[in-house]
Amino acid sequence: MSPTSEKRRTLIRGASLLGGPPTDVLIEGESVAAAGPGLTAEGAETIDAGGLVLLPGLVDLHTHLREPGREDSETVLTGTRAAAAGGYTAVHAMANTFPVADTAGVVEQVWRLGRESGYCDVQPVGAVTVGLEGKQLAELGAMHDSAAGVVVFSDDGRCVDDAVIMRRALEYVKAFDGVIAQHAQEPRLTEGAQMNEGAVSAELGLAGWPAAAEESIIARDVLLAAHVGSRVHVCHLSTAGSVDLIRWAKSKGWQVTAEVTPHHLLLTDDLVRSYDPVYKVNPPLRTEADVRALREALADGTIDCVATDHAPHPHEDKDCEWPAAAMGMIGLETALSVVQHTMVDTGLLDWAGLADRMSARPAAIGRLGGQGRPVAPGEPANLTLYDPAHRAVVDPSGFASRSRNSPYRGLELPGRVTHTFLRGRATVRDGVPT
3-35: pLDDT as tens digits: 444 479 999 999 999 999 999 999 999 999 999
Phi and psi based region of residue 429 (left: phi greater than 0; alpha: psi -120 to 50; beta: remaining): beta
Q: 127: Cβ–Cβ under 8 A, 6 or more apart, which residues? A: 95, 96, 100, 101, 102, 138, 153, 154, 155
Burial, 229: exposed, middle or buried (Cβ in 10 Å; 0-12, 13-18, 19+)?
exposed
Q: 276: Cβ–Cβ under 8 A, 6 or more apart, which residues? A: none
- Distance (Å, rounded) from C-alpha 80 to C-alpha 280? 24
- Distance (Å, rounded) from C-alpha 159 to C-alpha 181? 10
The pLDDT of residue 385: 98
Structural domains of the chain sorted by starting position, each given as residue range(s) with its CATH number in brackets: 5-54+378-433 (2.30.40.10), 57-365 (3.20.20.140)
CA–CA distance from 113 to each of 75, 121, 141, 148 (Å)? 9, 10, 22, 11
Q: 213: Cβ–Cβ under 8 A, 6 or more apart, which residues? A: 185, 186, 189, 190, 193
189-247: pLDDT as tens digits: 999 999 999 999 999 999 999 999 999 999 999 999 999 999 999 999 999 999 999 99
Q: Which residues are annotated as a binding site for substrate?
A: 64-66, 96, 282, 313
Question: 54, 17 in Cβ contact below 8 A?
Answer: yes
The pLDDT of residue 335: 98
- Distance (Å, rounded) from C-alpha 380 to C-alpha 76? 23
The DSSP 8-state label assigned to residue 434 in this structure reads -
The DSSP 8-state label assigned to residue 199 in this structure reads H
Whether pTM > 0.85 for this model: the answer is yes
Question: 135, 164 in Cβ contact below 8 A?
Answer: no
pLDDT over 90 (residue 1): no
350-405: pLDDT as tens digits: 999 999 999 999 999 999 999 999 999 999 999 999 999 999 999 999 999 999 99
Question: 122, 67 in Cβ contact below 8 A?
Answer: no
The pLDDT of residue 397: 96
Burial, 46: exposed, middle or buried (Cβ in 10 Å; 0-12, 13-18, 19+)?
middle
- Distance (Å, rounded) from C-alpha 335 to C-alpha 352? 16
45-61: pLDDT as tens digits: 999 999 999 999 999 99
Q: Which residues are annotated as a binding site for Zn(2+)?
A: 62, 64, 156, 183, 236, 309
Q: What is the DSSP string of 78-131?
A: HHHHHHHHTTEEEEEEPS-SSS-S-SHHHHHHHHHHHHHH-SSEEEEPBPSBGG
CA 123 to chain centre: 12
- Cis peptide leading into 99, omega within 30 of 0? yes
Question: 257, 234 in Cβ contact below 8 A?
Answer: yes
Q: Which of 102, 155, 269, 309 is catalytic?
A: 309
The pLDDT of residue 7: 74
Helix (H, G, I), strand (E, B) or coil at 208: strand
Question: 178, 153 in Cβ contact below 8 A?
Answer: yes
153-184: pLDDT as tens digits: 999 999 999 999 999 999 999 999 999 999 99
Average pLDDT over residues 298-315: 98
- Catalytic status, residue 319: no
Question: 169, 128 in Cβ contact below 8 A?
Answer: yes
Closest by Cα among 353, 347, 346, 340 to 305: 353
Type of residue numbered 151: V
Closest by Cα among 394, 393, 185, 208 to 287: 208
- Dihedral sign from CA coordinates of 180, 282, 244, 197: negative
- Distance (Å, rounded) from C-alpha 393 to C-alpha 409? 8
- Distance (Å, rounded) from C-alpha 18 to C-alpha 51? 12
Q: What is the largest CA-CA distance in the chain?
A: 67
- Distance (Å, rounded) from C-alpha 214 to C-alpha 221? 11
Question: 157, 184 in Cβ contact below 8 A?
Answer: no
